[in-house]
Amino acid sequence: MASGSKTALGVVQFACTDDLAGNLETASRLIRQAAGEGANIVLVQELFEGLYFCQTQDPIHFGRAHALADHPVIAPMQALARELGIVLPVSFFEKKNQAFYNSIAMIDDTGAILGVYRKSHIPDGPGYSEKFYFRPGDTGFKVWPTRFGTIGVGICWDQWFPEAARAMALMGAELILYPTAIGSEPARPDLDTMEHWRMVMRGHAAANMMPVAAANRIGAETIGGKTQSYYGSSFIAGPDGQLAADAPRDGEAVLIATFDRQDLADNRAAWGMFRDRRPDLYGALATADGGDRT
């Protein structure tokens, strides 16, 4: 367990089926294992309640969404977080009136929901047709103070954008987490993005001098007559971008890495990366095309 400013970060990965109860059972088993190995925070992959349905565009899948208050994955995860005394960011398909979001509920170690983040960047490409299902998130980036540190969470496609990681760091994040679902590219069977995927997030860790972790699913999934495979390779990167723990492409995995948050904070301050920022020069980042707004 955490001692002083030390936090043990856990990540789990597994194959999903279309049996919600079975996926909850698998997630709970691996979360328990991570907590048993000392994890204070455990990250589970994106939309782990079922198959990654965004391979296809089919209105039937809107029936998978539920409001936060009655979503079938939320209450069991609250109970588990409370029982184990851990923080659990939980990915879920959210329905709010007529709107649908790809969301995270941040559950603290008492089982309370600290808040919800809705995915900001929504991809749209072969095998990843998320714009059909999800509105762009309206929450803005979020960070949550917890007993084990201040946590920022982005969701999958968010992880490719350095602006998102930097925004969470500026808001006080001490650790940045990314639940994800990524694998083969149906339009480019020759393309393997795994190392690129890892490298981008490892860059966020190094640029912001804080741990970054990603949880991905594994296995092949067939839905709507289409099959896509997911390459696992979940990982935890340290504040220098180096891998502190990593999982294989296949097979269930539980990863643990421990960090001293005070040491990390002292190191960030000493390096001066945030001291020497020049936001007055970064206006191009607030435009779509880098153009002059004056």
Catalytic residues: 46, 119, 156
CA angle 218, 142, 3 (to 5 degrees): 75
Cβ-based neighbours of 188, under 8 Å, separated by 6 or more? none
Average pLDDT over residues 58-78: 97
Average pLDDT over residues 61-86: 98
Distance, CA of 240 to chain centre: 20
Cβ-based neighbours of 247, under 8 Å, separated by 6 or more? 11, 13, 232, 233, 234, 235, 253, 255
Cβ-based neighbours of 100, under 8 Å, separated by 6 or more? 62, 65, 93, 94, 133, 134, 135
**3-state SS, residue 128:** strand
Q: What is the pLDDT of residues 162-178, one digit of tens each?
A: 999 999 999 999 999 99
Which stretches within the chain are classed as H helix? 20-36, 74-84, 162-170, 194-208, 261-271
Instruction: Count CB neighbours of 285 within 10 A.
Output: 11
Per cent of the chain over pLDDT 90 is 97
Query: Scanning the structure block, which residue is given the tokens 């509920």?
Result: 105
CB 72 within 8 A of CB 66: yes
Q: What is the pTM of this model?
A: 0.96
Q: What's the DSSP call for residue 251?
A: S
Amino acid at 290: G
Q: What is the pLDDT of residues 241-281, one digit of tens each?
A: 999 999 999 999 999 999 999 999 999 999 999 999 999 99
Q: What is the average pLDDT score of the chain?
A: 96
pLDDT attached to residue 294: 58
pLDDT at 118 over 80: yes
Average pLDDT over residues 180-204: 96
**3-state SS, residue 42:** strand
Cβ-based neighbours of 69, under 8 Å, separated by 6 or more? none
pLDDT attached to residue 3: 59
pLDDT band at 4; cut points 50, 70, 90: confident
pLDDT attached to residue 2: 52
Instruction: Count CB neighbours of 171 within 10 A.
Output: 13
Distance, CA of 176 to chain centre: 8
Average pLDDT over residues 38-42: 98
pLDDT attached to residue 291: 87
User: What is the rounded distance in angstroms from the CA atom of residue 208 to the CA atom of residue 167?
Assistant: 10
User: What is the rounded distance in angstroms from the CA atom of residue 205 to the CA atom of residue 213?
Assistant: 9
User: What is the rounded distance in angstroms from the CA atom of residue 221 to the CA atom of residue 239?
Assistant: 34
pLDDT attached to residue 1: 44
Per cent of the chain over pLDDT 70 is 98
- How far is CA 180 from each of CA 44, 135, 252, 275, rounded to the nearest angstrom? 9, 17, 15, 32
Amino acid at 48: F
Nearest to 31 by CA among 215, 250, 232: 215
User: What is the rounded distance in angstroms from the CA atom of residue 271 to the CA atom of residue 247?
Assistant: 30
Average pLDDT over residues 28-41: 98
Extract the tokens encoding 83.
Answer: 């029982």
User: What is the rounded distance in angstroms from the CA atom of residue 45 to the CA atom of residue 180?
Assistant: 5
pLDDT at 293 over 90: no
